Structure 1
Amino acid sequence: MSKTIEIKSNIKNRARLKSKIFTKSNELVIENILSKEVKSIRMNFACHSLIVEFDSNITNLNRILERLNSIFDINKVVSKNIVKNKIKENYLTSCNSCKSCTLYPNEKSWKRKLFEYGALSVVAIGVFIKEHILMTALSPVAAIALGGLSVFAALPLINDAYNDILNKKFTLETFMAAAVLTAIFGGEISAAFEVIYILRGSRLFEEYTAEKSRLEIKNLIKMDVKKVYVQRGDVEIQINLEDVSYDDIVIFVHGEKICVDGTIIEGEAEINESIINGYSQSVHKKVGDKVFANTIVDSGRIKIKVDALGDETYIARVLGEVDKYLSLKSSSEVMADKLAKRVLKVGTLLTISTLFLTSSFTNAFSVMIMMSCPCATVLAASSAISSAITNAAKHGILIKGGIHLENISKADVFCFDKTGTLTTAKPIVVDYKSNLPNKEFFEILLSLEDKNSHPIAKAIVDYGNELGFKKLNNIKIDNKIGLGVQGKIGNDTYHLGNLKLMQDNKITIRQNKALKEQQNRANTIIYLAKNYKFAGFISLSHEIRDGSYQMIEDLRKRGVKKIILLTGDDELVAKEFAKKFNFDEVHHNLMPDEKAKIVETLSKDHNVAMIGDGVNDTLAMSKADTSISFASGGSEAAIEVSNIAITNSDPKDIIKLYDLSKFALKIANQNYLIGTSTNIIGSGAAMLGLIGPAGAGLTHIGHTSAIILNSSRNRLKQ
């Protein structure tokens, strides 16, 4: 028996697999090993296929394949004519496989799909012009060609319907396929083509948006470090990253990206861990401390004993979780599925009832055409939302789907990250005091910090330069990792750094009103001492984005129940910052998974919106009902994972987005009234024989035009 599995499809928590192992004799075995992993199992023994529906909270396709592999020893997984010999290599988000990886459609397949849909679009435009503008019927040859094209375009739908029938299921796909084929062979070819054209377009868009997000996440954690230095005995040698093993000793110095998880066994360093915890300043790490992949050594030199590599690193596991939650259905999508089932039942019942009551195939067929393509239901929301999305894009708000625009005005809890979201990521000088002359004070600061790449040092240097001061020459500098810097100019010794540097050198800090005020505000304070005596301080903070206060207040006015701060900053900084905004809750010292747990808990009882800008926010964003990223300076992962990206990072755009969502929903409800009423009237007229198949098509055109015209009001919304 072949040990090959072919993946026919994997979309929205539903996968269809094909293999010779899917036989009647293996049915019970397969059901037993997958029963706890999946929600439903359907097997088609005639074509050796298995269809599984699963919950991404519980499992994923990779795990399902591994379960099958544990029993049948699968040696190949085939998809799109590409053979992979390692199951994990195909499906792990952070794999190093090429563009042919089966979860990520390769460039050629997307070009083919876009070409096919582009060709269908050209035909659709031609048919529309001929029938509705020139008001001429298709010639027999053109009708036959269009019918053949419609059948070809409908093959995926027909194939799904065929499998459903074999498995004794009657779904919307079955009804739609029957309607399309009936329309084609009943002579209503244009109506059939319209139905299949809409379906192909919507499926292509859904697949593209989902796969693009996954591809961006995969690219993000693809390590750009190719070679590293490792210790072999008493010698440090350079090797390829792929040759690094667990328990190896890897060396990293100033400016390098750490590419493993591990424990420091020698040295100390200032490490930028904002990608992990969102903390606004570099963290001092010493022997015994843990470090993580994708963080950066701002200064210092460390030796790390490797604890985790590749897919096992913390950041890879976090983004793997993000990838899993990307495929979860929203509550609106679940409701849409229920509505589709109701449409199926009503449409089938009306069609059969019409045929039974009137004995007229034409009347029944007209009802089928009217009910088989729920254009009114689809367009009522989609046209209103699409119009609103276009309007938002003009204002620099990129919305990745209608459901996300709908959800934002339903959110009753808003969670905010701090650094980079409500504040800018760049520290700024807010105050300074010194008993030295200003010229000497800033000349010393510039001289000591000139070669330091730390963001705080750069902010001090930039501030001094703006004031017109210059650094001194002939200065001897000794960097104190995690503390600051010691320098000697002539016969004078200077210390510049944090409070611990002062304490270690027995320098007494003289309290004054200005210093106490900055300490109470939880700002970052850098102290200066001259010849072991306190000489002054300079205070820095992260600038609050213009409009942040007003945005929070406006959300409250619109009825938002809770506004919460989630940050990696320490308790003092977080609480002092929160006082300015009057947050309902403040959570500090958070790691990414801790942020996610808070959002997940809130989501059980509330509709939650999460606003952030960094990789550390992505897992929490993936758990929220709606996620919004500030794109200006934000991480690519946050932008791609988010449902909505605000390109200008303007807090006022949150309110603009909220109001646009409310207005779009109002328009959508009006459209539902237009579409539903015409569908009901049209179906009734078709049952009575007052309109035929052509009339059913014209009814679609009529209410479609009214809906689109009403939806265009969204484009005018400011």
Structure 2
Amino acid sequence: MAEYRLKGLSCANCAREMEEEIQKLDHGDNAKIMFNSSKLVVSDEVALHKVEKILASDGASIVRESSDSTHDDHDHGSGRKLLYFIGLSAVLFALAIALENMIPTVAAAGIYVAAAAISGYKTFIKGLKNLVAFKFNIDTLMTIALIGAFGIGEWKEGTLVAILFGINEYLEGLGMEKARKSMETLLKVAPKEAILLSGKEERVIPIADLQAGDVVLVKSGEKIPSDGVVSEGRSSVNEAAITGEAMPVEKTPGETVYGGSINNEGVLKVTITKPYEDSSLAKILHLVEEAQETKTPTEQFINKFAKYYTPLIMVIALIVMIVPPLFVGDWGSYFYQGLAVLIVGCPCALIISSPIAIISGITRNARNGILIKGGVFLEQLGHVDAVAFDKTGTLTKGEPHVEEMIAYTNIKELLRIAGSIEKSSSHPLAKAIMEKVEQQSIPLEEPTDLKTIAGQGVEANISGQTYRLGNEASIPFDEIPPQIQSDLEQLKDDGYTIVVVSDHEQVLGLFGIADEIRHESKEVVAELYDAGVKNAVMLTGDHDKTAKKVASAVGLSHYYANLLPHMKVEKMKELIKKGKTAMVGDGINDAPALAVADLGIAMGKGTDSAIETADIVLMQDHLGKLPGAIKIAKRVNTIIKINISLALGLKIIALLLTIPGLLTLWIAILSDMGATILVTLISLTVLIDKNKAGTQK
């Protein structure tokens, strides 16, 4: 399959019709015109000259690689050309009005026809071709209406309709192009070249030539070309292209960097771990581009409705032209009314009522580091009733943290012994204790006779004294003082994992260790309720006391503990029965529950599993922007409803004007033009970020 960028694509309905025509060609079965991103995907075997002929019938064409202008420049140029023709038509129209009482009627009519032709000659040509082929769309309707208007001597109104229709086309294309450019600005974050290091030699190469294992040089202000690991240098890196976070992240040797992020200062040498096409950024941009073309249920309904709407209007127009005159006469007046009804058959405003808002919503969220894989998921996000969270790595950091420490001896002595025993261990609990020790900057000793006691912990000799560190069973004597026993029970009740430090005679201290709750979790849950979510729950495999503590701390309405993966799936199915439910997890351990949920939302900061598993990916390593994403989705859904109401409402009003005989050609076209303007402007408001809703504070 080959992919081509298109220019001059301004009408969604026309794009669909051209796609159907291309699909009738040999080897064209799988051809697809992606209206939102202005692209054509077609088989390499299809006759390209035939494809171009079909595109040219609607004023569209393929942008050649050799062109010295960008895609944006092309479309802007074609828009300017149309605007120029509309302006010239308007001048001729004004001239005809000024001179019509001073020159022969034929001459005035000639000026009106010239003005109409300049503004709408493409529409007339396409409409005449469609008439011959018995194909009825907006171009056919406009052509019939204008021929009819001129046929009954309505030169002025016919010309005004042609000019207004031209303005309508221009505005429709302008609105769509604004949304496209917003998306394309997002896609331009991809780097183009890399400085490859081969020994002491530096060579500039296209990023497409990069391979895993290559070492590249990234200077201050330059983009990191692909995912990799810092091999040399220190710097802060702006990862906004990946995570949407504006705050720089410090990078040192051994740390991961993402393609498309920007090196703020200093020089970094980066060992590439993935070729660019497999990098996080490439996957994100590809998915965002694909997301533009997925049809929501609303869009599918609109497109299906539009296919029947135009023929229905034609039938109504025919009835208006024939039935009333049979009873009251006045064929000329009702013929005129019927022509006006034909113009009301334009479905353009209705068709664009959804895609501009959808593209704007996806783009706005992508800028914030929220990757939504399609319009259908954006629409669903706006209807979410409940959000279910995994605990570990989602509401919590997934890293053990000492939350309580009880010392029965000198605190520094307790930390010195615990740190000396744990300093060489890689166990997560040992890391939590070492973090506490390092905060006090306590000098440590080298333990001797270090050994593991199965099911209990470790034993070691420090300065000639034997110490034990482990769980409650590691205490080497049976009689535990009441105060210590009480403290142990309290730590258990609080849901902590307990680490005991003792010698052969006494307990020196207790560590209460828990998974640290993310500082933003409580605020996020409160903002979710504020955004209209009715129920926020937690699903965890952890025991009940720990789950209760976390749920209470972050403000969840319910929690479900001791759940194995298959039990999470069953619980998710129960929640779905009560309303549309989203599941938020890390994209790895929660894959089954994410798959079952109405909407799977993964956290992952660019990890492959997160990007591939879920319907929505939070590219940050926190939940801070989730409420904002839901608010944007709700706003998009509201705007689509408003747009559909406006598009249909104005047309219904226009049709009702036929009853008292007040519908005119220019009122008919203004009803569609007014709807197009309102729909476009309202949809583009999604791109305006007034209060940075949902940003990480």
User: Where on the TM-score scale, by shorter chain, does this alignment land: which range?
Assistant: 0.5 to 0.7
2: distance between equivalents of 1:515 and 1:408? 45
The answer to whether the aligner puts 1:457 opposite 2:412 as a matched pair is no
Amino acid aligned to 1:674: L
**Aligned mate of 1:131, from 86, 91, 94:** 86
Matches within 5 A, 1:659-670: 659=631, 661-662=633-634, 665-670=637-642
Aligned match of 1:338: 301
The answer to whether the aligner puts 1:353 opposite 2:316 as a matched pair is yes
Q: CA deviation at 1:523?
A: 1.3
2: distance between equivalents of 1:398 and 1:136? 48
Check conservation: 2:547, 2:559, Cα contact below 8 A: no
2: distance between equivalents of 1:676 and 1:582? 42
The answer to whether the aligner puts 1:704 opposite 2:676 as a matched pair is yes
Aligned match of 2:386: 413
Aligned match of 2:196: none
Aligned match of 2:546: 573
2: distance between equivalents of 1:400 and 1:696? 38
Q: Taking structure 1 as reference, are residues 587 and 516 closer, same or farther at Cα in structure 2, changes over 3 Å only?
A: closer
Aligned match of 1:443: 416
SS of 1:522's partner is coil
Matches within 5 A, 1:598-637: 598-630=571-603, 635-637=607-609
Aligned match of 1:589: 563
Tell me the alpha carbon deviations over residues 339-380 of structure 1, each in whole angstroms, 9 at most, x when there is no partner.
Answer: 43333223211124325643899987876665444324633x
SS of 2:391's partner is coil
The answer to whether the aligner puts 1:540 opposite 2:513 as a matched pair is yes
2: distance between equivalents of 1:624 and 1:182? 51
Tell me the alpha carbon deviations over residues 681-701 of structure 1, each in whole angstroms, 9 at most, x when there is no partner.
Answer: 456679979655x87665544
Matches within 5 A, 1:188-587: 333-355=296-318, 357-358=320-321, 370-376=344-350, 378-379=352-353, 381=354, 403-473=376-446, 475-478=448-451, 484-499=457-472, 502=474, 511-531=484-504, 534-549=507-522, 551-552=524-525, 560-580=533-553, 581=555, 583-587=557-561
Q: Taking structure 1 as reference, are residues 387 and 546 closer, same or farther at Cα in structure 2, changes over 3 Å only?
A: same
SS of 2:296's partner is helix
Check conservation: 1:430, 1:540, Cα contact below 8 A: yes
Q: Taking structure 1 as reference, are residues 202 and 655 closer, same or farther at Cα in structure 2, changes over 3 Å only?
A: closer
Check conservation: 2:548, 2:559, Cα contact below 8 A: no
Amino acid aligned to 1:341: K
Q: CA deviation at 1:524?
A: 1.8
SS of 1:494's partner is strand
2: distance between equivalents of 1:198 and 1:401? 20
Q: CA deviation at 1:190?
A: 8.4
2: distance between equivalents of 1:387 and 1:132? 30
Amino acid aligned to 1:343: A
Q: CA deviation at 1:607?
A: 1.1
Q: Which runs of 5+ in 2 are unaligned?
A: 4-22, 31-41, 46-62, 93-112, 149-161, 187-211, 214-286, 323-333
Q: CA deviation at 1:117?
A: 8.0
Q: CA deviation at 1:183?
A: 11
Tell me the alpha carbon deviations over residues 230-282 of structure 1, each in whole angstroms, 9 at most, x when there is no partner.
Answer: xxxxxxxxxxxxxxxxxxxxxxxxxxxxxxxxxxxxxxxxxxxxxxxxxxxxx
Q: CA deviation at 1:415?
A: 0.9
Q: Which moved more, 1:438-447 or 1:197-206?
A: 197-206
Q: Taking structure 1 as reference, are residues 198 and 484 closer, same or farther at Cα in structure 2, changes over 3 Å only?
A: farther
SS of 2:458's partner is strand
Q: CA deviation at 1:406?
A: 4.5
Q: CA deviation at 1:469?
A: 0.9
Tell me the alpha carbon deviations over residues 461-504 of structure 1, each in whole angstroms, 9 at most, x when there is no partner.
Answer: 1211111212213645445688643333242233323345x27x
Q: TM-score, normalised by structure 2?
A: 0.54
SS of 1:542's partner is strand
Q: Taking structure 1 as reference, are residues 362 and 439 closer, same or farther at Cα in structure 2, changes over 3 Å only?
A: same
SS of 2:313's partner is helix
Tell me the alpha carbon deviations over residues 571-591 of structure 1, each in whole angstroms, 9 at most, x when there is no partner.
Answer: 453344345445434143332
1: distance between equivalents of 2:124 and 2:503? 84
Check conservation: 1:146, 1:193, Cα contact below 8 A: no
Tell me the alpha carbon deviations over residues 556-604 of structure 1, each in whole angstroms, 9 at most, x when there is no partner.
Answer: 677755432112324453344345445434143332x543443344324
Amino acid aligned to 2:313: L
Check conservation: 1:351, 1:365, Cα contact below 8 A: no
Amino acid aligned to 1:588: N
Amino acid aligned to 2:678: A
Amino acid aligned to 2:305: R
Q: Taking structure 1 as reference, are residues 601 and 372 closer, same or farther at Cα in structure 2, changes over 3 Å only?
A: farther
How many residue pairs were aligned? 498
1: distance between equivalents of 2:595 and 2:145? 42
SS of 1:430's partner is strand
1: distance between equivalents of 2:437 and 2:518? 23
Q: Taking structure 1 as reference, are residues 355 and 487 closer, same or farther at Cα in structure 2, changes over 3 Å only?
A: same
1: distance between equivalents of 2:348 and 2:582? 31
Tell me the alpha carbon deviations over residues 110-148 of structure 1, each in whole angstroms, 9 at most, x when there is no partner.
Answer: 999x976874465345534663799679x99xx999999
Q: Taking structure 1 as reference, are residues 552 and 673 closer, same or farther at Cα in structure 2, changes over 3 Å only?
A: same
Q: CA deviation at 1:668?
A: 4.5
Amino acid aligned to 2:564: L
SS of 1:420's partner is helix
Q: Which runs of 5+ in 1 are unaligned?
A: 1-5, 9-43, 52-78, 83-107, 153-157, 210-223, 226-322
Q: Which moved more, 1:567-576 or 1:519-528?
A: 567-576
2: distance between equivalents of 1:448 and 1:81? 67
Check conservation: 1:613, 1:639, Cα contact below 8 A: no
Tell me the alpha carbon deviations over residues 631-677 of structure 1, each in whole angstroms, 9 at most, x when there is no partner.
Answer: 5x584533565455556666565545555555555555444443322
Check conservation: 1:485, 1:495, Cα contact below 8 A: yes
2: distance between equivalents of 1:457 and 1:691? 82
The answer to whether the aligner puts 1:680 opposite 2:652 as a matched pair is yes
2: distance between equivalents of 1:708 and 1:542? 48
1: distance between equivalents of 2:465 and 2:176? 78
Matches within 5 A, 1:71-82: 80-81=43-44
SS of 1:410's partner is coil
Check conservation: 1:613, 1:635, Cα contact below 8 A: no
Q: Taking structure 1 as reference, are residues 192 and 496 closer, same or farther at Cα in structure 2, changes over 3 Å only?
A: same
1: distance between equivalents of 2:396 and 2:488? 23
Q: TM-score, normalised by structure 1?
A: 0.53
Amino acid aligned to 2:581: V
1: distance between equivalents of 2:124 and 2:180? 16
Q: CA RMSD in A?
A: 6.1
1: distance between equivalents of 2:88 and 2:420? 76
Q: CA deviation at 1:418?
A: 1.0
Q: CA deviation at 1:197?
A: 9.6
Check conservation: 1:117, 1:201, Cα contact below 8 A: no
| Identity level (%) | 23
Larger radius of gyration: 2
